[in-house]
Amino acid sequence: MRRKPSVTGEELLTPHEVSSLLGVPATAVRGWADIGRLTVIATPGGHRRYRASEVLMFLAAMPLTGPEVDEPAF
């Protein structure tokens, strides 16, 4: 299925798509939207959508997590 852009021409993502892209639960995406870290766009039916460009910028700004890499010993 081909995704239709919003009225502004930007691609919009569903909460599930955003959570998959960011590797977090959908509840985290909703929480970030609720506190203003992500802009949510409501569809006429009341569903949440997110601008793909904003989500990609958000992803780029996310800190990397995981185990620290040790420096090699010489």
In angstroms, the CA 24 to CA 44 distance is 26
The answer to whether residue 74 scores a pLDDT higher than 50 is no
The answer to whether residue 1 scores a pLDDT higher than 80 is no
What is the Cα 42 distance to its own chain's centre?
15
Given a contact cutoff of 8 angstroms between Cβ atoms, the answer to whether 10 and 52 are in contact is yes
Residue 27 CB neighbours (<10 A): 10
pLDDT bin (cut points 50, 70, 90) of residue 6 is: low
The answer to whether residue 4 scores a pLDDT higher than 70 is no
What stretch of H or E contains 38? none
The answer to whether residue 73 scores a pLDDT higher than 60 is no
Any alpha helices (H) in the chain, and if so which ranges?
15-22, 26-34, 52-61
- pLDDT at residue 72 in the model: 46
In angstroms, the CA 17 to CA 29 distance is 10
- pLDDT tens, 8-56? 667 999 999 999 999 899 999 999 999 999 999 999 999 999 999 999 9
